[in-house]
């Protein structure tokens, strides 16, 4: 557990996480029914923020609000199993998403042409593997693409 810092201590020039304390501000922050003095701090990103002494020692909060939002998003993605922008559980699972109507992952019927298209999304990009008159050919193309793209990626992270 982090040590509570005395309010009277001079923190100017000290670093806490991404923050450097610049000065003691005249601002006060609320803590329930009471208020506490705030320190003016500069975040590594350049933003100025105001923090109470007790929040400076909390690594999840010792950054500006903009950086806290990014940090929280990164933590959520990490907990959800994302590696390099890809959710591992999604590419290793054979489960179909609720909106799938073809019965095969990454294969759908193009209504205009009446042909089956094989594709997959990986690292934020969509890869198309052609259109096929035969459903089984499209499924085969998708499975080959999974081996080629996902296989190499999964080998690297294991």
Q: Is 3.40.50.1580 the CATH number for 82-157?
A: no
pLDDT tens string 45-59: 999 999 998 888 887
Give the end-to-end CA distance of the chain in Å, rounded to a whole number.
Answer: 33
According to CATH, where is 3.30.730.10 located in the chain? Answer: 82-157
Residue 147: what pLDDT? 87
Task: Print burial letters for 36-74: b (CB count within 10 Å at least 16), e (below 16).
Answer: eebbbbebeeeeebebbbebbbeeebbbbeebbeebeee
Q: What percent of the chain has pLDDT over 90?
A: 42
Residue 16: what pLDDT? 92
Closest CA to 120 of 139, 88, 142: 142
Asked whether the predicted pLDDT for residue 99 surpasses 90, the reply is: no
C-alpha 136/C-alpha 74 separation (Å) is: 39
Place of tokens 């080629």: 148
Residue 6: what pLDDT? 52
Closest CA to 150 of 108, 113, 122: 122
Asked whether the predicted pLDDT for residue 90 surpasses 80, the reply is: no
Residue 7: what pLDDT? 53
Asked whether the predicted pLDDT for residue 97 surpasses 60, the reply is: yes
Asked whether the predicted pLDDT for residue 1 surpasses 60, the reply is: no
Q: How does strand 34-43 pair with strand 82-83? A: unpaired
């Amino acid at each position: 557990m982090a040590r509570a810092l005395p309010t009277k201590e001079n923190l100017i020039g000290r670093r806490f996480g991404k923050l450097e304390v610049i000065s003691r501000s005249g601002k006060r922050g609320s803590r329930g029914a009471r208020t506490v003095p705030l320190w003016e701090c500069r975040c590594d990103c350049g933003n100025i923020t105001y923090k109470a002494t007790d929040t400076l020692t909390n690594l999840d909060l010792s950054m500006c609000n903009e950086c806290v939002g990014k940090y929280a998003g990164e933590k959520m993605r990490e907990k959800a199993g994302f590696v390099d922008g890809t959710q591992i559980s999604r590419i290793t699972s054979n489960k179909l998403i609720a909106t799938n109507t073809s019965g095969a992952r990454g294969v759908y019927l193009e209504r205009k042409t009446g042909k089956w298209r094989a594709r997959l999304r990986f690292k934020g990009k969509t890869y198309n593997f052609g259109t096929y008159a035969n459903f089984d050919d499209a499924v085969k193309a998708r499975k080959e693409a999974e081996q080629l793209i996902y296989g190499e990626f999964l080998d690297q992270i294991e």
